[in-house]
Amino acid sequence: MSLFDAKQLVALSNLAGFMVYDPQAPGYRNGVGTFTRPNVGLVTWRGPVDPRDSNPGEFVDGVDVWIEVEHVGASFDAGALDLLTEPDIRAAWSSARRLRGAYDGLVLEVRESDANTLADVGFDNGGIDQPALLAHVGSHDGLVRRLYDQSGGGRTAAMTTDAQQPAVVDSGTAIELGSRQAIRFGATTSTRLEADAPTLIRDLAGFTVFAVARSTDASGAGRPILRVDGDGNQLFTLRTNGGDWQVGGRRVGSDAFQILTGPAVNTSEDVAIAARIDFIAGEASLWINGVEVAADANWHDGGNSADAAASDVYIGREIGITRQFIGPIGELFVIGSVLSNADMEAVQGDQMTYYEIE
């Protein structure tokens, strides 16, 4: 039995072969939800939270919903992005899990460090197929050559230069955040992944960036989880800087670079971290573990980002200077809209649960 909230329940309609009555749609609210799948049998949902509730089939808006699957091994893997209603997903990268229930591609391409053999690694029950990953790498290091984009936009992050590839396995041991697969950056000053994404934040009224990471060394300047360059300048960065979490950016290349500084980095702590940028209102905010920790209502003058064409997108490093993120990153995604506080809390809550962040 698996616990889903209302939005995750709706998201199950993305799974091939299922018929879903949407309990949030007009006419079905508080109605009975039924799921059928050939050769599997009936799937029912019940609420409120207690699966032993005496009124199976009742749906109470805004509370958790239990899904009872009458089939051993059936998989219902609603990803973090399925919590959002029709999100504009600009890019979605994860070494740990499927971020969208509808995504049917691969997780990453790994290079085994001894013989330099390559292998694509897919999913197992919604998470990365870690046994397949470790079987390919053996007792050696596993380096990431490609981290596939789960958004459907083809914005795969890659590094084809062997010496600059981040690690996903260290001498046969998986690199993890909590108990989830992660990618470790910062082994050298040139370690990074790059994405061909010139329209990542173009023509947007605002955007939101989510990540799960642990900074193991936050000393020094400008250590980015994500950096977006364009118009000859840095357009956006989510980073550590001088021991603090920080978001920085500008609307177009000619604007002054604005910085919003958050709390100090705890180098032993895994965090769900997010930045929300509103170009129209000129606002920015920084979120950590479901809480807004810093905000600026006058981040810059309002206006859209129509001229902010990204030329380079980097994960784990600021290009041109030796400033690299040091530590593991589990996932990173960009939403092309300014999410509500409720959505920020829901997505980060999901990340905290999945990565066992307290």
pLDDT of residue 99: 94
Q: Residue count of the chain, please give it.
A: 358
Provide the greatest CA pair distance for the chain: 63
Is the domain of 53 the same as that of 191? Answer: no
Q: Is residue 95 part of a domain?
A: yes
Establish if 242 belongs to a structural domain: yes
Q: What is the pLDDT of residue 85?
A: 79
In this predicted structure, the answer to whether residue 221 has a pLDDT above a threshold of 60 is yes
Same domain, 312 and 279: yes
User: Which of 37, 59, 76 is the endpoint of a domain?
Assistant: 76
Q: Would you call 12 exposed, middle or buried from its count of C-beta atoms within 10 A (0-12, 13-18, 19+)? A: buried
Question: Do 96 and 48 have their domain in common?
Answer: no
58-62, 204-208, 288-292, range with the lowest pLDDT: 58-62
pLDDT at 3 over 50: no
Span 36-45, average pLDDT: 34
- pLDDT-based confidence at residue 310 (cuts at 50, 70, 90): low
| Boundary-marking domain end, from 60, 76, 92 | 76
Cis peptide before 48, with omega less than 30 degrees from 0?
yes
The listed range with the strongest mean pLDDT (80-84, 102-106, 211-215, 221-225) is 211-215
- Domain assignment present for residue 349? The answer is yes
- Read off the pLDDT band of 319 (50, 70, 90): low
For residue 187, what pLDDT is reported?
73
Q: Are residues 45 and 93 in the same domain?
A: no
Residues 197 and 276 in one domain: yes
Q: Is residue 159 part of a domain?
A: no
Question: 334 in a domain, yes or no?
Answer: yes
Asked whether residue 43 falls in the same domain as residue 89, the answer is no
* Domains contained in the chain, number: 2
Strands 317-318 and 233-241: unpaired
- Closest CA relative to residue 125, chosen from 149, 148, 96, 151: 96
Q: Domain of 284: which CATH number?
A: 2.60.120.200
Helix (H/G/I), strand (E/B), else coil: 123: strand
Residues 45 and 26 in one domain: yes
Query: Which of 57, 76, 95 corresponds to the end of one domain?
Result: 76
Strand partners, 176: 181
Residue 43 has pLDDT above 80, yes or no: no
Residue 324 near residue 241 (C-beta atoms within 8 A): no
- Domain of 67 in residue numbering reads as 2-76
- 125 found inside a domain: no
Among 20, 66, 30, 25, residue whose Cα is nearest residue 45: 66
pLDDT at 312: 83
Q: Are residues 219 and 310 in the same domain?
A: yes
Question: Is the domain of 325 the same as that of 209?
Answer: yes
When the pLDDT of each residue in the chain is averaged and rounded to a whole number, the result is: 78
299 located within any domain? yes
Share of the chain above pLDDT 90, in %: 53
141 within some domain: no
| 64 and 195 share one domain | no
**Mean pLDDT lowest for which of 16-20, 108-112, 141-145, 195-199?**
16-20
- 3-state secondary structure (DSSP) of residue 350: helix
Q: Are residues 69 and 216 in the same domain?
A: no
Pairing of strands 157-158, 118-121: unpaired
**Overall pTM > 0.85:** no
Indicate if 10 and 38 belong to the same structural domain.
yes
Residue 299 has pLDDT above 80, yes or no: yes
Model confidence at 164: pLDDT above 80:
yes
Instruction: Name the one residue in this structure whose structure tokens are 């990453």.
Output: 108
